[in-house]
Amino acid sequence: MIKNRTNYSSRKYVVIMIFSIVVLVLLVKLFMIQVVDQSYKHSSDNNTLRYITQYPARGKVFDRNGRLLVYNEAIYDLMVIPRQVKKLDTLDFCSTMNISREYFNERMIKARRYSTFSPSVFMAQITKEEYGMIAENLHKYQGFYFQTRSVRNYPYPIAAHTLGNIGEVSKKDLERDSYYKSGDYIGKSGIEQFYEKELRGEKGMKIIVVDVHNREKESFMDGQFDTLPVAGKDIFLGIDAELQLYGEKLLKNKTGSIVAIEPSTGQILAMVSSPAYDPNELVGRVRSDNYTKLLNDTLKPLINRATSGVYPPGSTFKMLNGLIVLQSGAVTAKSAYPCNGKESQPIRCTHSHNSPVALHEAIENSCNPYFWETFRDMFASSRFASAKEAYSFWYDHVLSFGLGSTFKTDIPSEVSGSIPKSSLYDKVYRGVWNALTIRSLSIGQGEILVTPLQLANMAAAIGNEGYYYPPHLIKSFSDGSAIDSVMTTKKVIDIKSKHFKDVKIGMCRVFEGDHGTARFSKIDSMQVAGKTGTAENPHGDDHSLFMGFAPADKPQIAIAVVVENAGFGSQWAAPIASLMIEKYLRGYIKNTNKEKRFLE
Amino acid sequence: MSVDRGLLSAKGKIMTARNNIVGKIDWWLLAIYVALVSIGVSAIYAAAFNEMHPSIFDMSQHYGKQFLFAGVSIFLGLIIMLIDAKFFNAFAYIIYGLSILFLLYVLVGGSTIAGSKSWIQFGSFSFQPSEFAKFGTALAVAHYLGGINTDFTKLKTQAIAYGLVLFPMMLVLMQGDAGSSLVFLVFILVFYREGMSGKILVIGLVAIVLFLLTLYFSKWYVLIGLAVVFAVIVFIIEKTRRNIWGLIAVFIVSAMFVFSVDFFFYKVLKQHQRTRINIILGVEKDIYGVGYNLHQSKIAIGSGGFSGKGYLQGTMTKYNFVPEQHTDFIFCTIGEEFGFVGSFVLLSLYLALLVRIILLAERQRSAFSRIYGYAIASIIFFHLMVNIGMTIGLLPVIGIPLPFLSYGGSSLLMFSLMFFVFLKQDANRMNIL
């Protein structure tokens, strides 16, 4: 069976040579790191290395004027590595720590169960004072050491919904992102959550040599392998802390919300949801107790009504209908329509005024028949072949104001509200419907639902005469890095600016006209444009609504106010909006009598 | 043939087999094997030591289990010694086919452990078919090339031989286990011994150098360097002008290779594989992400110094600084506790094992046994090179075990199987005419 071919057996030397060379290379490298290079020998038999995570300072949050809203306060976690705990005088330890023997046992068992090698938290969130006491004696307790952590602190007790809070990472977070280790903090809601990546910074790692007496001796290999933590970015919000504070005071003991936007940028100036809570309540060891309390509160203070409360816009929606019918060409600003007051059909007027009325007076008097009739005429216009076509013209324009969808910016817990699609009516009315069937849309009732945020944005878009920037919270990062372009992209509405000018005139007359529904909320030497609304609420008393902006020609603030179950818009929402506007533009309230009834 | 006679002859066979074994077994080789396995169990004892279960026989601990695996391996060796030596040659293709089936099965219904879908679960026991495939491929290649009518100088023969290796290699690669699939490349040494052109070996070496250079530097620098080298060669041989086109062809092929390496690295490799390579090359530094293992392992080995900290005295080892220390990073324990002396002894043992297998392979009368011997020596060699190379930062962190030492039944049993089959072939060599 021996084959008689070319004999390659001498090639065994090549193969053996390859084996030997590789083994030699490995040995040379081993000689280098084990014998030549002394740096690895720093950890002698009695020394161990301790890996200390260097937590970066979480970014601070400021308001638009640089007022500090959120900062960090140092606290200390006492860590334990069960494996390194040796010759511990438990009694002495417990008395220094001021804990019971039972507590000690319980914590040690828990730590040991987690890992005997890896550090776990023995006692969390020790204050500076306690820390000082214990640190002096720490050398006696092998295997224990301190780790500095920080908690959030809020100098102003405001904007809890917007700022959100941080908490320990959940199991899910740990699985999703390997950056986090058990016990780390993560943004749980609000901008803490949205800007988690920017705020958190990057953790660093310090490796130190620890001797048998638990004394930290030196940096391992001169810190060659240490990494420095990178502090998180600071964030400047568009919020005006004073205005926010004032808004929260105005809504105290009421249910509702205020949203104020800077129309030229889309930045939120104030976002109030009432009832609110103090963000400091959700910090530290009291966090979980307070959280449960807030969660069980029947008024649901944890819900941000400004972004997730939905309301029928009522008369505030009439501006949109005015703009759309003008744009359709079926009606001009001069076209006048008769009003029979309470006798009007099919929708009655709730105000008494002259007849007939054109756009300006119709807005001033919030005349229901005018808006129904113009809506009907638009549907009847020869421009549209069918009711469906007219409806889609109306629908597309309504959506272009940002209604019916979320803005998808950094604002937490937004809901989209609802603007009905024509298919809904096809289904309900089996395809047979016309302007009359859906007439309640003409006065902002019916199937329309908007959030206060959307309402404020609508005001901004009208104030800007045809465009808006998606409303957002952030103003800038401390390092000047760019904010998401979604928030800086201008949205243009396909309606001529002259129509906006006409609607604005009407909105100014709401304050200035003899019959204006907000004439009692007028501000001295300031031209405010706005519209009140009273939204029918099938679940109880009507909601009081307002939306508007000021100054009318070049608005610096656009605002929406909703006070739940408070009745007429002119009674509650409009005066609150007027105070907010004055506070923002003037810095104080000239006639303090106006605010009295809200601040008591 | 009557029943009695059959029984008698079977008995006779066992008797002769036993006589052969005791007389013909290469005791040196076996001694090295036993030494390596013992070092493995002791090192795992040190690495995974749990003070609450100090007994090395404690079956709830890694060391207890490994001790059990070692016992099973010896028992397996005993059985192989009793099986007819021709069995493995005769059943080579069936074993190969079986290993391919396992690989295919794993692609469909395997369990994912540590990121690669390469395990088959039998109750609480999991086994890695890629380990078995190495054994199957060694047998198949040895059987094919060892055939009477096989002529390795023929192109068709070469193609089939390469195919036998590349097929399981691709399947393992498809499981996402790039490390294990690389092992199959080492068959190039076997082919070389059987008559493959030495040029291919050289080309392979050049390819590895170009590969590393491309990763270290931009592909454009490598291309410029290549161009310069070729220009110099052209300049030197200018007078003769021979082979200038061949040279250009070689240059173009090299350039294409550089481009494809670049493509492979940035498009085919996954991010974690890229990161591992980058850390080895020093392009990235990341001591508590992917680089953590490597960094820890180097400290552990380096802190061993010349003579080590002593058995069970390794602080890095004791305090679990090196993850996966009982498996792929088992060498750390030896490096830390026995220092350079220990590393030297261990590597010498491995080298002795490899050289011994090669020398024994050369004395085989059967081509099958010789080729098989080369195959297992090459496989052990590759594992050794990559595993120790990774623990000391010479090679990327590729999760393949250190033969006979790393924790894991699948790995220890497979290497033992491969080893004992060769030992049996060698012991039986005189029975082959």
Q: What is the DSSP string of A176-192?
A: H-TT--TT-EEE-SHHH
Residues 507-566 of A with CB under 8 A from B: none
Show the tokens assigned to B396: 């990327």
Q: Are A58 and B385 in contact (CB under 8 A)?
A: no
Q: According to the model, what pLDDT value does residue A46 have?
A: 42
Domain count, chain B: 3
- Phi, psi (rounded to 5 degrees) for B327: -100, -100
**For chain A, domain boundaries:** 49-237, 241-277+304-599
B7, pLDDT greater than 70 = no
> Residue B279's pLDDT band (boundaries 50, 70, 90)?
low
For chain B, report the end-to-end CA distance as a whole number of angstroms: 26
Question: Using CA atoms, how far apart are residues B399 and A517, in angstroms rounded to an integer?
Answer: 77
The answer on B56 and B101 residing in a single domain is no
Show the tokens assigned to A368: 């229901």
SS3 B173: helix
With residue A391 as reference, give the H or E element that holds it. helix A387-399
Closest CB to B320: pick one of A9, A117, A225.
A117
* Interface-testing mutation among B153, B154, B340, B429, with chain A (most A C-beta atoms within 10 A): B340
The Cα angle at residue B260 between residues B258 and B262, in degrees rounded to 5: 70
> Residue B336's pLDDT band (boundaries 50, 70, 90)?
confident
Residue with tokens 């009905």: A420
**Tell me: the pLDDT tens digits for B28-45?**
999 999 999 999 888 888
Residue with tokens 């749980």: A188
The answer on B93 and B59 residing in a single domain is no
Amino acid (one-letter) located at A101: R
B71, pLDDT greater than 80 = yes
B218, pLDDT greater than 80 = no
A16 at interface of B, judged by CB pairs closer than 8 A: yes
Range A185-189 contact pairs with CB under 8 angstroms and sequence separation of 24 or more: A185/A58, A185/A149, A188/A164, A189/A164, A189/A165, A189/A412, A189/A413
Q: According to the model, what pLDDT value does residue A429 have?
A: 84
C-beta atoms of B319 and A6 within 8 A: no
For chain A, report the end-to-end CA distance as a whole number of angstroms: 111
A83 at interface of B, judged by CB pairs closer than 8 A: yes
**Tell me: the pLDDT tens digits for B97-127?**
999 998 888 887 665 555 555 666 665 556 7
**What's the ipTM?**
0.84
State what percent of residues in chain B have pLDDT above 90.
Answer: 29
Q: Domain range spanning residue B245?
A: 203-269
Show the tokens assigned to A247: 């808004």
Pick the last residue of a domain from B189, B215, B249. Answer: B189
SS3 A467: strand
Amino acid (one-letter) located at A124: A
Question: Using CA atoms, how far apart are residues B294 and B278, in angstroms rounded to an integer?
Answer: 12
From A131's Cα to the closest Cα of chain B, the distance in A is 28
Show the tokens assigned to B383: 């594992």
Closest CB to B347: pick one of A11, A15, A26.
A26
The answer on B419 and B339 residing in a single domain is yes
Q: Are B269 and A9 in contact (CB under 8 A)?
A: no
Most confident by average pLDDT, B171-180, B293-302, B356-365: B356-365
Question: Using CA atoms, how far apart are residues B334 and B46, in angstroms rounded to an integer?
Answer: 9
SS3 A112: helix
Question: What average pLDDT does the segment B13-30 reach?
Answer: 67
**Tell me: the pLDDT tens digits for B284-328?**
555 445 556 667 777 788 888 888 777 776 666 554 555 566 677
The answer on B418 and B315 residing in a single domain is yes
| Residue B284 domain flag | no
Show the tokens assigned to A259: 């949203």
CA torsion angle for A143, A146, A152, A155 (degrees, to 10)? 150
B269, pLDDT greater than 80 = no
Residue with tokens 């046994």: B369
The answer on B210 and B183 residing in a single domain is no
The answer on B258 and B302 residing in a single domain is no
Peptide bond into A346 cis (omega under 30): yes
Q: According to the model, what pLDDT value does residue B8 have?
A: 46
Summary count for chain A: helices (H), strands (E): 20, 18
Q: Are A387 and A433 in contact (CB under 8 A)?
A: yes
Residue in B374, B432, B369, B366 with CA at minimum distance from that of residue B195: B374
The answer on B366 and B316 residing in a single domain is yes
B21, pLDDT greater than 60 = no
CATH of span A241-277+304-599: 3.40.710.10
| Residue B287 domain flag | no
| Residue partners of A258: CB distance under 8 A and separation at least 6 | A247, A250, A251, A270, A271, A272, A306, A452, A559, A560, A561, A562, A576, A577, A580
Q: Are B120 and B106 in contact (CB under 8 A)?
A: yes
Output DSSP code: residue A286. G
- Phi, psi (rounded to 5 degrees) for B369: -65, -40
More confident of the two residues B293 and B91: B91
**Would you say the C-alpha torsion A423, A424, A430, A436 has a positive or negative sign?**
negative
**Would you say the C-alpha torsion A163, A169, A170, A171 has a positive or negative sign?**
positive
| Residue B214 domain flag | yes
Residues 202-261 of A with CB under 8 A from B: 205, 225, 227
Question: What average pLDDT does the segment B245-256 reach?
Answer: 82
Q: According to the model, what pLDDT value does residue B283 have?
A: 55
| Residue partners of B313: CB distance under 8 A and separation at least 6 | A45, B337
Question: Using CA atoms, how far apart are residues A92 and B88, in angstroms rounded to an integer?
Answer: 70
Residue of A nearest to B357 (CA): A16
Q: Which fold has domain A49-237?
A: Penicillin-binding protein 2a (Domain 2) (3.90.1310)
**Tell me: the pLDDT tens digits for A84-114?**
787 788 888 888 888 888 888 888 888 887 7
> Residue B373's pLDDT band (boundaries 50, 70, 90)?
very high
| Residue partners of A480: CB distance under 8 A and separation at least 6 | none
Show the tokens assigned to A281: 């309540």
SS3 A444: coil
Residues 321-380 of B with CB under 8 A from A: 321, 335, 339-340, 343-344, 347, 350-351, 354-355, 358-359, 361-362, 365-367, 374, 377-378
Residues 62-81 of B with CB under 8 A from A: none
A13 at interface of B, judged by CB pairs closer than 8 A: no
How big is the A-B interface in CB pairs under 8 Å? Answer: 124
Residue with tokens 């006492």: A78
Question: Using CA atoms, how far apart are residues A48 and A81, in angstroms rounded to an integer?
Answer: 12
Residue in B267, B314, B392, B255 with CA at minimum distance from that of residue B46: B314
The Cα angle at residue B179 between residues B254 and B216, in degrees rounded to 5: 40
From A203's Cα to the closest Cα of chain B, the distance in A is 11
The answer on B176 and B210 residing in a single domain is no
The answer on B405 and B302 residing in a single domain is yes
DSSP A335-382: --B---GGG-SSS--SS---SSB-HHHHHHHT-HHHHHHHHHHHHH-T
C-beta atoms of A41 and B309 within 8 A: no
Q: What are the distances in angstroms from CA B42 to CA A39, A359, B47, B405?
A: 28, 94, 9, 9
Q: Which residues make beta-bridge pairs with A168?
A: A185
* Interface-testing mutation among B145, B202, B271, B287, with chain A (most A C-beta atoms within 10 A): B287
What is the residue-level pLDDT of chain A in tens, covering all 600 positions? Answer: 444 456 788 888 989 999 999 999 999 989 988 888 776 665 444 456 677 778 888 899 999 999 999 998 877 888 888 877 877 888 888 888 888 888 888 888 888 877 776 778 888 778 777 788 888 888 888 888 887 777 888 888 888 899 988 888 888 887 788 788 777 888 988 999 999 989 988 888 887 776 545 556 667 766 767 778 888 899 999 999 999 999 999 998 888 999 999 999 999 999 999 888 888 888 766 777 888 888 888 888 888 999 999 999 888 999 999 999 999 888 888 888 888 888 777 888 888 788 788 889 899 888 888 999 899 989 888 888 888 888 989 999 999 999 999 998 999 889 999 898 888 888 888 878 888 888 888 888 888 999 999 999 999 999 999 999 999 999 999 888 888 888 999 999 999 999 999 999 999 988 888 887 888 888 878 899 999 888 887 777 888 999 999 898 899 999 999 998 877 777 888 899 999 999 999 988 888 888 888 877
Question: Using CA atoms, how far apart are residues A126 and A130, in angstroms rounded to an integer?
Answer: 6
For A142-146, A169-173, B241-245, B267-271, which range has the lowest pLDDT when averaged over its residues? B241-245
**Would you say the C-alpha torsion B255, B259, B265, B268 has a positive or negative sign?**
negative
Q: According to the model, what pLDDT value does residue B6 have?
A: 46
Q: According to the model, what pLDDT value does residue B25 have?
A: 86
The answer on B42 and B168 residing in a single domain is no
Question: Using CA atoms, how far apart are residues A343 and A338, in angstroms rounded to an integer?
Answer: 11
Question: What average pLDDT does the segment B326-342 reach?
Answer: 85
> Residue B52's pLDDT band (boundaries 50, 70, 90)?
low
Pick the last residue of a domain from B189, B212, B243. Answer: B189
Closest CB to A8: pick one of B194, B309, B378.
B194
C-beta atoms of A15 and B189 within 8 A: yes
- Phi, psi (rounded to 5 degrees) for B237: -90, 15
From B66's Cα to the closest Cα of chain A, the distance in A is 23
Burial of residue A424, with CB atoms counted within 10 A of its CB: 0-12 exposed, 13-18 middle, 19 or more buried: middle
Q: Are strands A185-187 and A166-168 parallel, antiparallel or unpaired?
A: antiparallel
A117 at interface of B, judged by CB pairs closer than 8 A: yes
Residue of A nearest to B196 (CA): A8
Per-residue H/E/C for A23-72: HHHHHHHHHHHHHHCHHHHHCCCCCEEEEEEECCCCCCEECCCCCEEEEE
| Residue B19 domain flag | no
C-beta atoms of B366 and A18 within 8 A: no
B433 at interface of A, judged by CB pairs closer than 8 A: yes
- Residue A121's Cβ-side half-sphere holds a number of Cα atoms within 13 Å equal to 14
C-beta atoms of A43 and B303 within 8 A: yes
B402 at interface of A, judged by CB pairs closer than 8 A: no
Question: Using CA atoms, how far apart are residues B422 and B354, in angstroms rounded to an integer?
Answer: 12
Question: Using CA atoms, how far apart are residues B378 and A239, in angstroms rounded to an integer?
Answer: 70
Closest CB to B302: pick one of A23, A37, A117.
A37
* Interface-testing mutation among A30, A85, A207, with chain B (most B C-beta atoms within 10 A): A30
Burial of residue B424, with CB atoms counted within 10 A of its CB: 0-12 exposed, 13-18 middle, 19 or more buried: buried
Residue with tokens 């501000």: A523
